[in-house]
Chains A and B, each alone.
Chain A
Amino acid sequence: EVQLVQSGAEVKEPGESLKISCKGSGYSFTSYWIGWVRQMPGKGLEWMGIIYPSDSDTRYSPSFQGQVTISADKSISTAYLQWSSLRASDTAIYYCARSDGGNWYDYWGQGTLVTVS
Chain B
Amino acid sequence: DIVMTQSPDSLAVSLGERATIKCKSSQSVLYSSNNQNYLAWYQQKPGQPPKLLIYWASTRESGVPDRFSGSGSGTDFTLTISSLQAEDVAVYYCQQYYGTPQTFGRGTKVEIK
Residue of A nearest to B102 (CB): A47
Which of A37, A47, A104, A111 makes the CB contact (< 8 A) with B52? A104
Separation in Å of the B19 CB from the closest CB of chain A?
19
- Say yes or no: A61 contacts B97, CB within 8 Å: no
Task: List residues of chain B with CB within 8 A of the CB of A89.
Answer: none
Answer yes or no: A46 CB below 8 A from chain B CBs.
Answer: yes
Given contacts A102-B97, A103-B38, A104-B40, contact A46 B51 (CB under 8 A): no
Query: Is the beta-carbon distance between B101 and A47 smaller than 8 angstroms?
Result: yes
A99 to B100, CA, bound (A): 14
| Chain B interface size range | 20 to 34
Question: In the complex, are the beta carbons of B51 and A45 less than 8 A apart?
Answer: no
Within 8 A of A (CB), among B55-113: 55, 61, 91, 93, 95, 97, 100-107
B51 touches A108 (CB 8 A): yes
Assembly CA distance A98 to B40 (angstroms): 14
Query: A62 interface residue, CB < 8 Å from B?
Result: yes
Across the two chains, which residue of chain B brings its CB closest to A48?
B101
Q: With an 8 A cutoff between CB atoms, is A63 at the interface?
A: yes
Q: Contacts of B49 on A, CB cut-off 8 Å? A: 95, 97, 108-111
Residues of B within 8 A of A108 (CB): 49-51
Contact present for A104 and B93 (CB under 8 Å): no
In Å, the complex CA distance between A102 and B55 comes to 12
Contact B101 A63 (CB under 8 A): yes
A-B CB contact pairs (8 Å), 21 listed = A37-B104, A44-B93, A44-B107, A45-B42, A45-B107, A47-B101, A47-B102, A49-B101, A59-B101, A60-B101, A61-B101, A62-B1, A63-B101, A103-B38, A104-B95, A105-B40, A105-B42, A105-B95, A108-B49, A110-B49, A111-B49
A residues contacting B by CB (< 8 A) are 35, 37, 44-47, 49-50, 59-63, 95, 97, 99, 102-106, 108-111
